[in-house]
Amino acid sequence: SSQTKDAVVGETMRALQKHGLTPQNIQNTPHEKLNQLLNKVGFHNNKTKYIKEATSILLSTYNADIPPTADEMMKLPGVGPKMAYIIESVAFNTTTGIGVDTHMHRMFNQLKWVNNAKTPEQTREQLEGWLPRDYWAEVNVLWVGFGQETQQQKEKALRKAFACSRPVEALGLYKKVGMDIKKEAKRFGLEEEVTRVMCGGDGVSKK
């Protein structure tokens, strides 16, 4: 859910898995109970409705499995291009599109990889227009993780930059996607490490 923090989504998914996350069990679960399991997620009333409708289709049309193509998945209630392309790639090892989430949409605009895209779907269309198809399957996993860390786990991201083979370039990339390096370094007591990286250990700034 784009309106819900990743940690809350994870917590909700674990609760659903504990409850029994199969089409038949979800179909047998009372609407009120399912809605309760989803109540921490944004638009949970709509999601409860969509999940109920989707499981009914999976049971009647796909033998309790999921459709094998992104196009068919997008016909299910509540399933958009992002999740359809990701599932297609992970579950069927087939990639016909790039799953673009809000993290990727924001970052690719900041990096000027797309031209003033207004929505994740516009970002996807522009990205697919120039990125070689061989890289499509890797983009989501790589950049969603990067976006989560630079937004929600900034100390971890900074320490990764310090430890990598090209720390100056890594910090430069963080700046391009909106991280205030000085502010976050001060917040986590990492000012000396930033200075060391940017000066290359010789007191001369490499900026």
Report the catalytic residues: 82
- Distances from the Cα of 168 to the Cα of 18, 95, 153, 165, 171, angstroms: 44, 34, 19, 9, 5
Gyration radius of the chain's alpha carbons: 21
Backbone conformation region of residue 42, classed left if phi is above 0, alpha if psi is from -120 to 50, else beta: beta
Distance CA(37)–CA(20), nearest Å, equals 11
Q: Is the distance from CB of 108 to CB of 139 less than 8 angstroms?
A: no
139 closest CA partner among 174, 114, 156? 114
Dihedral angle computed from the Cα positions of residues 112, 114, 118 and 121, in that order, rounded to the nearest 10 degrees: -140
Residue (of 54, 187, 156, 185) closest to 195 by Cα position: 185
